[in-house]
Structure 1
Amino acid sequence: MMTHVVSKETVFARAAAGSLFAGNLIAGASSDGTVDNTTPIDNSVIGKIGDAVAADVDIAVAAARRCFENGEWRQLAPAERKQIMLAWTELMTRHAEELAALDCIDAGKPITECLNTDLPATLETFRWYAEAADKVFGKTAPAGNAWSWIVKEPIGVVAAVLPWNFPAQMFAWKVAPALIAGNSVIVKPAELTSLSAYRMIELAHQAGVPAAALQMVCGRGETVGAAIGRHMDIDMVSFTGSTEVGRLFLTYAAQSNLKEIVLECGGKSPQIVFEDAVLDEAAVGNILSAAFWNMGENCSCGSRLLVHRSRKDELAEKLKAGLSGWRLGDPREEGVALGPMIEQAHFDKVAAYLQTAEQQGAQRIIGNGVRTDLGGWYIEPTVFDNVRPDSSLFQEEVFGPVLALTVFDSEEEAVALANNSVYGLAASFYTQDVKRVLRVASALQAGTVSVNGFSEGDITTPFGGYKQSGFGGRDKGLEALEQYCQTKTVWVCE
């Protein structure tokens, strides 16, 4: 099981040589088409990625179904699956620097974040679900003279369709609970970020996960994603990404076998600063992190800052001072906090919002917007003041480092502004009033609400949204493990 450990410098050198590769990992013969893989850091070619076709999905699904039916993975005792998962986690721990570097070069994520945040959270997720494997029990019902019990069973063949913004971490959120529950899992990574998923699955097979129990199909959404959504023998799709694509998966399910669909989609999360908020260094740091962490390419990004009128000027000055320590640049360099946008198309979209915001009457008070001197798709963290609730910047998900500031005069107005969105993924607010904490936390329409800080919870707490931010289940927590199972009642008559 020992494998050669690769340093981040080696990964970056291989990227410079154009030799990084991620392709299909299918338990059977598959096509070998590839396309160039470029990095958003400087738009250079760093290697090749697989470009699968619908027939490859068929091959992977057939292998996954055989594996599920013959019990090669499903019928292992939970304690056995746990030991294999823990062995896999130890392998990934040894290769954590390599995995972090792959996400850095592939997605343009700062290496510091990948090493210190993303990979530790990824490994924690795998360990936590491995330990949960043999600690989830069924139950019985009071049935009088009959015997009855309710059990959880794996749902079957699960497809995990991943986003590009947190490649390794979102892989863990979906694959760990789905696999430990006994399902056969097919991973479809984002075509922009396939490298870490490919490497993690290679390590999984080395650790003892059967090849057919965990497979990967690389490719474009319009081919591979659509084939997964319409496939008659996939039992469930777990998707994280845009609301637009989430709608497509619902359509695909309706057109095929009514497979279960779990969606974690867009967000337009509010941050509320009440008049009694303590705006110390920690609070300001949390507000900035909510807005600009991961370049704002985060579904739970706190992109709407609702501030009591009496605190606006003070907060604006503190934000400007706080952002002075956020370095924008090459994400391979230690200490860089902000890298590029993921690709030119997304860069162009975010840049267009900067122009539209000003056309709709908002005033830029922090940031210079687009940076053309860094060789890639870079945008400075930017704050707009006087953002109207009916404007594009207030209502639409930008998915970039752009913060919309709007004032309010009362608690009721703040809550109304916060809920004035088709999304409901997350929200945060700052206050010292305990009674207000109870009122506002209850009134906010969001799946995760944090008080006096920015948080998505931890691995023990479920994560998902209200309204058009998604439905069908939750990532993280035991709730995620349960969503990859189906419930069976066994009733034994007298």
Structure 2
Amino acid sequence: MASLQKILSPASRAAAVTRFCFRPSTLPVIVNKTRVNTGIYGNPFSRLASTMVPKLKDPSLFKQNVCYVNGEWVTAASGKTFEVHDPATGALIGTAPEFDPHDTEKAIAAAAVAFEQFRHKTGRERSKLLRKWYDLMLENADDLATLITWENGKPAADARGEVTYAANFFEWFSEEAPRIYGDTIPSSVPGNRVFTIKEPVGVCGLITPWNFPAAMITRKAGPALAVGCSVVCKAPGETPFTPLALAELAHRAGIPPGVVNVITALHNTPQVGQELTTNPTVRKISFTGSTPVGKLLMKQCSTTLKKLSLELGGNAPFIVFDDADVDLAVAGAVASKFRSSGQTCVCANRIFVQRGVYAEFAAKLADQVRKFRVGHGFDAGVTHGPLIHSRAIDKVEQHVRDAEGKGATVVLGGHRLPGLGKNFFEPTVLTGMTTGMAMAEEETFGPVAGLFEFETEEEVVRLANATQVGLAGYFFSRDLGRVNRVAEHLEVGMVGVNTGLISDPASPFGGVKESGFGREGSLYGIGEYQVTKMITYGGMGKPLQA
């Protein structure tokens, strides 16, 4: 701080205080004999420092204006690019190619040629390639985390955690690659023998979101490569630089040209998506994103009857029963609701608390949320960063105002933080939530915890299931009988019991109802990129010759 004070003029320091420190209820510090309220909103001078361009240990991982196709770095044929901005500061990070359907078709063609060779590599050979990609991710973890924080906004510690989580998918599927087994099936026809073998489905189109720019690619590409598929990955327009860095590491790992292709687009995203879903060479689409877009892609895929995996939106119930360990439940709520500032598909969206512990839970949750530090992800001590863009923060504010207008009480937060930047919103706790509010029906995707009170187990299970989606659900109870009942009756694909964190490369990830179908990660995830071929041998029952 002292060095920054020397750099900044007195007028600049005063402007920094005015801009970034505005909440009188937060904890004060003394800066140059001036009382400055920083509290949970960070230090203004470190905030100014964090707006500087971050430096990578290996600058070659930052790929501008090029995509990775057929083992080469190429531009869009049109020469067009789009801008990518830091969600925390609004500053320009860089530009990426605006691919169109023609560019995408070239990537698909390259993947098709590569597939015919790659599919015949042994499982052990593919395993070694994935393991090398994994090792390179860990060796470059700091730079990957820097890119994630820069373009996504999540705090540096969260970004580093994502890199580890993302790399672990390559480790997991590197170990699965040599263990792709078929079956021997007893035949009902005398003399016949029936076998099955597992084969790669073919060229796969991977369409990934911005909230986990590394992990959502590795969770798809890992199993695809493990079984022998080639991939064309459409990187998210908001966060293209992390996927492009992963492509560079794939190149260094020795993955053959055309097996991994990473393309970018922002304005042309619908057209690129349509090319991936309608091109007959692509035999599988895996998409993570919103339910409306998933439905559109599914409709487009029907023209060529592709294999399809959809991991779509959620409206996760988080239930706290009277017999729960309240402190454990609060910790689980913090982990589930406020991870990545609430911008994950498995975030708790409706928090149901039984009447007997409602007041205690609400007070303890608010106490924990007060400890959060909101700011730029590169600032030391920051726990929560910005939302991804203006549309996201508009929706969060609409949900809070809707709840407040219909009788909810804002216990903590509830407002934008313009002093930090246009995409920051206070971590918020609301009580008195009812089913008629928007937050009860829509995924908020922001740092807002709305608490609903309930009376009975039957009531809360009915409320939890009263939605068209079913991705994740959580509940806290020490009653073993209740644990089994509720876990089985929740209409979701994944259940967390006495925990707010459920993601693991070893666990099958996916939902039911309009949250999609298919599973990612785990033993089940690898089957999404395979087809089963049955082989029948006849004439096997003749007696042995003497």
| Length-normalised TM-score, structure 1 | 0.94
Q: 5+ residue gaps in structure 1?
A: 1-7
Kept in 2: contact 1:14–1:46 (CA 8 A): no
| Structure with bigger gyration radius | 2
What is aligned with 1:229? 277
Q: Identify if the C-alpha distance between structure 1 residues 457 and 164 changes in structure 2 by more than 3 Å, giving closer, same or farther.
A: closer
- Letter paired with 2:533: K
The number of residue pairs the alignment matches comes to 479
- Letter paired with 2:257: A
Q: Deviations over 1:413-443 (max 9, x none)?
A: 0111111111111111111111111111111
What is aligned with 1:67? 114
Kept in 1: contact 2:320–2:329 (CA 8 A): no
Counterpart of 2:399 (choices 350, 353, 359) is 353
Equivalent runs, 1:129-168 vs 2, <5 Å: 129-143=173-187, 144-168=190-214
Q: Which moved more, 1:127-136 or 1:455-464?
A: 455-464
Residue 483 (1) aligns with residue 533 (2): no
Residue 26 (1) aligns with residue 74 (2): no
Counterpart of 1:462 (choices 490, 508, 516) is 508
Kept in 1: contact 2:69–2:262 (CA 8 A): yes
Residue 276 (1) aligns with residue 318 (2): no
| Length-normalised TM-score, structure 2 | 0.85
What is aligned with 1:384? 430
Counterpart of 1:197 (choices 243, 251, 254) is 243
Q: Identify if the C-alpha distance between structure 1 residues 328 and 179 changes in structure 2 by more than 3 Å, giving closer, same or farther.
A: same
Counterpart of 1:216 (choices 262, 275, 279) is 262
What is aligned with 2:146? 101
- Letter paired with 1:458: D
- State the distance in 2 between where 1:55 and 1:20 align: 21
Q: Deviation at 1:205?
A: 1.3
- State the distance in 1 between where 2:52 and 2:92 align: 16
Query: Secondary structure of the residue that 1:99 maps to in structure 2?
Result: helix
Q: Deviation at 1:383?
A: 1.8
Kept in 2: contact 1:249–1:261 (CA 8 A): no
What is aligned with 1:90? 135
- State the distance in 2 between where 1:223 and 1:139 align: 41
Query: Secondary structure of the residue that 2:516 maps to in structure 1?
Result: coil
- State the distance in 2 between where 1:422 and 1:136 align: 35
State the Cα RMSD in Å.
1.9
Query: Secondary structure of the residue that 1:229 maps to in structure 2?
Result: helix
Q: Deviations over 1:205-251 (max 9, x none)?
A: 11111120100110032222222122222111100001111011011
Residue 48 (1) aligns with residue 90 (2): no
Kept in 2: contact 1:218–1:224 (CA 8 A): no
Q: Identify if the C-alpha distance between structure 1 residues 325 and 156 changes in structure 2 by more than 3 Å, giving closer, same or farther.
A: same
Kept in 2: contact 1:11–1:98 (CA 8 A): no
What is aligned with 1:185? 231
Kept in 2: contact 1:112–1:334 (CA 8 A): no
- State the distance in 2 between where 1:20 and 1:335 align: 29
Residue 370 (1) aligns with residue 413 (2): no
Q: 5+ residue gaps in structure 2?
A: 1-49, 540-546
- Letter paired with 2:138: T
Q: Deviation at 1:283?
A: 2.9
Kept in 2: contact 1:20–1:47 (CA 8 A): no
Query: Secondary structure of the residue that 1:351 maps to in structure 2?
Result: helix
Q: Deviation at 1:67?
A: 1.4
- State the distance in 1 between where 2:260 and 2:51 align: 29
Query: Secondary structure of the residue that 1:59 maps to in structure 2?
Result: helix
